[in-house]
């Protein structure tokens, strides 16, 4: 809790001014019943018109001062809470950006989105409530109690009975709702996860006529969320009627006991009216505190969820000091990796190989053999579980992450494009690139021609995730993005799977020319695209089962030969 509310410190002026202004409003509210009592006892009953006018004007003046205090409190509480929310949201987002792929695998995207939006908005509202209502209600409660006791200790016996009852009801409701609010937030996570999956996969759902299934899946998540929300709100709904009943019974008791004293001329009627006002204010203030404490119990869940994001440390420590330019030699020495350290299964085991600077390494293997995981370790998108990875004889951990990744061009298996122009997407890693550089990179990726045919060319706006481009076009833009920075290590993770063979061949020629002095690492499915590689690794179930050149593997590996024949024909290939 303390970690979250540290974000109010930079906005201390607004955060302090809001309660001060609220205290002024409360003071004016507490003054009103006594002024009203004076009008009744010293003005109306005494027939003193001047006293009525003077005291009435005083009441109006107090109300105006209270209005200024209330409006000022609302303004400054809003400023403090909005800026608190903005700072917290920025820091949480920045923290998420530091996560490794393994962190992101454990924290589902839908849950992160809920925490960044719904949970932080909840905390923002709570801060505003703390600076306004939870200042007003306790001050009004204490002030009303003091004034009620001041007017009549005898009548305050009723208050002494009513207040504990209110607190008992408040405690029972908070205790019952806290676990329910936690469940509601988890159910909302589930809705966001299903919604995200359904919207991103809507084309597949339509293609396979699965919209009814997706609808049922969403309805199930939505119904579960609604069910838990109704349970929580049902318990909260008991709060107002119970508190109202206690309030009404208390007022009736005050009227009976106080009315008897008024009839016996032992108590002024004006003071009785003032006392009832103070008791009403007191019980309503306690009721408000109860309602807001229920909201705080819900906010506690949000605090825990947001704190989890802030306290989750990336497994990848950026403690490296080396920032020099690399030549591109890559060496794996008995490297192992597993996604979950609590599970015995390894996704990569005892991986060892060396790629000299300027060479071309190809990695092939069945789906799930660990190809993408292996290349992700080079730029520390995942952190190895064992062994060591070297670049130019230095462990990868000795490089600063920014220096390391800025010299590695990575084309992911899934071409991720962002909302913006094509030029902006190509220049993602080099925002200051001029148009000539962007065009040269696009030409090398065989993207220039189709870009020119678009209505606005390089200034064409892309939809979310590049929805207005084909798969092959997106892959070519992703390749252009990596080529633009002219990296010393270029990693292509099956990045031409949606590109025809002729275009792919031309791209390979451009890469060979443009990246002649760079190390190129390719994950591929098609042997035809890696025949010229200086070294080929064949992976199976996280292990290297064969390595060598194309010619060497045809001679030494039955598995490689089988893949070759399945792709390029069943003609006999014999190497005696």
Q: For residue range 198-253, what is the model confidence (pLDDT) as tens digits? A: 766 666 666 656 667 777 888 888 888 888 888 777 777 776 677 778 777 877 88
pTM of the model: 0.69
What pLDDT does 447 receive? 93
Those residues whose C-beta lies under 8 Å from the C-beta of residue 390, and which sit 6 or more positions away, are 329, 330, 331, 333, 396
Q: How many CB atoms lie within 10 A of CB 262?
A: 16
CATH of the domain at 477: 3.40.50.300
Tens-digit pLDDT profile for residues 494-523: 888 888 888 888 999 999 898 889 999 999
State the burial class of residue 197 (Cβ atoms within 10 Å of its Cβ: 0-12, 13-18, 19+): middle
9 and 145 belong to one structural domain: yes
353 lies in the same domain as 246: no
Residue 25 lies in a domain: yes
pLDDT at 207: 62
Written as one string, the DSSP assignment of 473-525 is: HHHHHHHHHHHHT--SEEEEESTTTTS-HHHHHHHHHHHHHHTTTSEEEEE-S
| Residue 555 and residue 421 share a domain | yes
Residue 251 lies in a domain: yes
Q: Is residue 319 part of a domain?
A: no
Phi-psi region of 335 (alpha: psi -120 to 50; beta: other; left: phi over 0): beta
Domain count, the chain: 2
DSSP assignment, residue 117? I
Is the per-residue pLDDT at 576 higher than 50? no
Task: Evaluate whether residue 111 is within a structural domain.
Answer: yes
Give the mean model confidence (pLDDT) for residues 182-198. Answer: 77
φ/ψ region of 368 (left if φ > 0, alpha if ψ in -120 to 50, else beta) reads left
Under 8 Å between Cβ of 75 and 98:
no
Token digits for 283?
Answer: 């019980």
The residue-averaged pLDDT of 7-26 equals: 91
* Residues of the chain above pLDDT 70, percent: 94
Host domain of residue 485 = 330-371+381-568
Whether residue 571 is predicted with pLDDT greater than 60 in this model: the reply is no
Smallest Cα–Cα separation from 155: which of 42, 286, 268?
268
Report CA Rg, the chain: 35
Distance CA 250, CA 242 (A): 12
Tell me, yes or no, whether 538 and 459 share the same domain.
yes
User: What mean pLDDT, rounded, does the chain reach?
Assistant: 85
Q: What pLDDT shows up at residue 170?
A: 74
- Same domain assignment for residues 336 and 190: no
> Is the predicted pLDDT of residue 569 greater than 70, yes or no?
no
How many residues are present in the chain? 576
Distance between CA 482 and CA 441 in Å, rounded?
A: 8
Tokens of 24: 């002024």
Q: Which residue is associated with the tokens 């404490």?
A: 293
User: What span, in angstroms and rounded, lies between the C-alpha atoms of 155 and 191?
Assistant: 53
**Would the CA dihedral through 164, 170, 171, 172 be positive or negative?**
positive
Q: What is the pLDDT of residues 264-283, one digit of tens each?
A: 777 788 888 888 888 888 87
Give the pLDDT mean for 387-410.
92
Task: Give the pLDDT of residue 526.
Answer: 83
Asked, for residue 19, whether it belongs to a domain, the answer is yes
The Cα–Cα gap between 452 and 13 comes to: 55
- Whether 474 and 395 share a structural domain: yes
Say how many C-beta atoms besides its own lie within 10 A of residue 189's C-beta. Answer: 22
First to last CA, the chain: 73
> Do 200 and 149 share a structural domain?
yes
Q: Are residues 335 and 304 in the same domain?
A: no
DSSP string across 16-70: HHHHHHHHHHHHHHHHHHHHHHHIIIIIITTT-HHHHHHHHHHHHHHHHHHHHHH
CB 380 within 8 A of CB 399: no
What pLDDT was estimated at residue 218? 81
Per-residue pLDDT, 458: 93
| Residue 284, pLDDT score | 80
pLDDT tens-digit map of 404-463: 999 999 998 888 888 889 999 999 888 999 999 999 999 999 999 999 998 899 999 887
Residue 573 within a domain: no
Q: Which pLDDT value is given to residue 80? A: 93
- pLDDT at residue number 574: 44
At 86 the pLDDT is 92
Domain limit, last residue, from 259, 282, 311:
311
266 lies in the same domain as 389: no
What per-residue confidence (pLDDT) applies to 536?
A: 95
Q: How far is CA 47 from CA 40, 268, 273, in A?
A: 10, 15, 18
**Whose structure tokens read 């230095």?**
394
429 touches 485 (CB < 8 A): yes
Within a domain: 324: no
- Say whether both 393 and 505 belong to one domain: yes
Q: Are 163 and 49 in a shared domain? A: yes
Of 87-91, 149-153, 256-260, 295-299, the one with minimum mean pLDDT is 295-299
Q: What is the pLDDT of residues 300-358, one digit of tens each?
A: 778 888 888 888 888 788 888 888 899 999 999 999 998 877 777 889 999 999 999 99
Give the CATH number for residue 205. Answer: 1.20.1560.10
One domain for residues 290 and 404: no
Q: 386-391 and 394-395 as β-strands: parallel, antiparallel, unpaired?
A: antiparallel
Give me the pLDDT at residue 575, please.
Answer: 41
Q: Which residues contact 146 (CB under 8 A, 6 or more apart)?
A: none
321 is a domain residue: no
Are 425 and 361 spatial neighbours (Cβ–Cβ below 8 Å)? no
């Amino acid at each position: 809790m303390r970690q979250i509310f540290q974000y109010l410190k930079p906005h201390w002026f607004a955060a302090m001014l809001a309660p001060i202004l609220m205290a002024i409003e409360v003071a004016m509210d507490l003054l009103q019943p006594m002024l009203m009592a004076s009008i009744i006892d010293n003005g109306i009953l005494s027939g003193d018109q001047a006293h009525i006018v003077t005291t009435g004007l005083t009441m109006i003046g107090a109300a105006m001062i209270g209005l200024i205090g209330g409006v000022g409190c609302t303004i400054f509480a809003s400023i403090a809470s909005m800026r608190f929310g903005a700072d917290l949201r920025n820091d949480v987002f920045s923290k998420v950006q530091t996560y490794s792929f393994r962190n992101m695998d454990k924290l589902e995207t839908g849950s992160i989105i809920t925490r960044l939006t719904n949970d932080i908005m909840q905390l923002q509202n709570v801060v505003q409530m703390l600076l306004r209502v939870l200042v007003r209600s306790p001050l009004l409660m204490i002030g009303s109690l003091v004034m009620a006791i001041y007017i009549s200790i005898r009548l305050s016996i009723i208050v002494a009975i009513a207040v504990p009852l209110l607190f008992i009801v408040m405690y029972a409701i908070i205790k019952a709702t806290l676990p329910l609010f936690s469940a509601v937030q988890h159910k909302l996570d589930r809705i966001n996860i299903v919604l995200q999956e359904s919207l991103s996969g809507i084309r597949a759902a339509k293609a396979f006529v699965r919209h009814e299934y997706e609808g049922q899946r969403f309805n199930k998540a939505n119904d579960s969320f609604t069910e838990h929300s109704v349970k929580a709100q049902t318990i909260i709904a008991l709060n107002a009627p119970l508190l109202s009943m206690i309030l009404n019974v208390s007022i009736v008791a005050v009227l009976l006991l106080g009315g008897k004293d008024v009839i016996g001329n032992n108590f002024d009627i004006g003071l009785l009216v003032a006392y009832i006002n103070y008791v009403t204010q007191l019980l309503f203030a306690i009721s408000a505190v109860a309602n807001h404490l229920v909201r705080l119990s819900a906010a506690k869940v949000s605090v825990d969820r947001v704190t989890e994001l802030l306290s989750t440390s990336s497994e990848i420590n950026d403690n490296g000091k080396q920032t020099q330019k690399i030549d591109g030699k890559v060496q794996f020495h008995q490297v192992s990796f597993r996604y979950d350290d609590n599970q015995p299964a390894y996704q990569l085991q005892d991986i060892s190989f060396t790629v000299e600077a300027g060479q071309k390494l190809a990695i092939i293997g069945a789906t799930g053999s660990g190809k993408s995981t292996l290349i992700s370790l080079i730029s520390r998108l995942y952190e190895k579980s064992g062994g060591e990875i070297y670049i130019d004889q230095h462990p990868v951990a000795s490089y600063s992450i920014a220096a390391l990744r800025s010299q590695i061009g990575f084309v992911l298996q899934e071409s991720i494009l962002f909302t913006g122009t094509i030029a902006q997407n190509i220049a993602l890693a080099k925002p200051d690139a001029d148009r000539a550089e962007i065009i040269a990179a696009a030409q090398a990726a065989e993207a220039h021609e189709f870009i020119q045919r678009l209505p606005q060319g390089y200034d064409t706006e892309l939809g979310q995730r590049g929805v207005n481009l084909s798969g092959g076009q997106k892959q070519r833009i992703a390749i252009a993005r990596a080529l633009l920075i002219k990296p010393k290590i270029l990693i292509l993770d099956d990045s031409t799977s949606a590109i025809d063979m002729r275009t792919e061949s031309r791209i390979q020629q451009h890469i060979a020319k443009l990246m002649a002095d760079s190390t190129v690492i390719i994950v591929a499915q098609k042997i035809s695209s890696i025949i010229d590689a200086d070294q080929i690794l064949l992976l199976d179930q996280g292990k290297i089962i064969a390595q060598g050149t194309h010619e060497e593997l045809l001679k030494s590996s039955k598995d490689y030969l089988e893949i070759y024949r399945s792709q390029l024909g069943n003609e006999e290939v014999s190497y005696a």
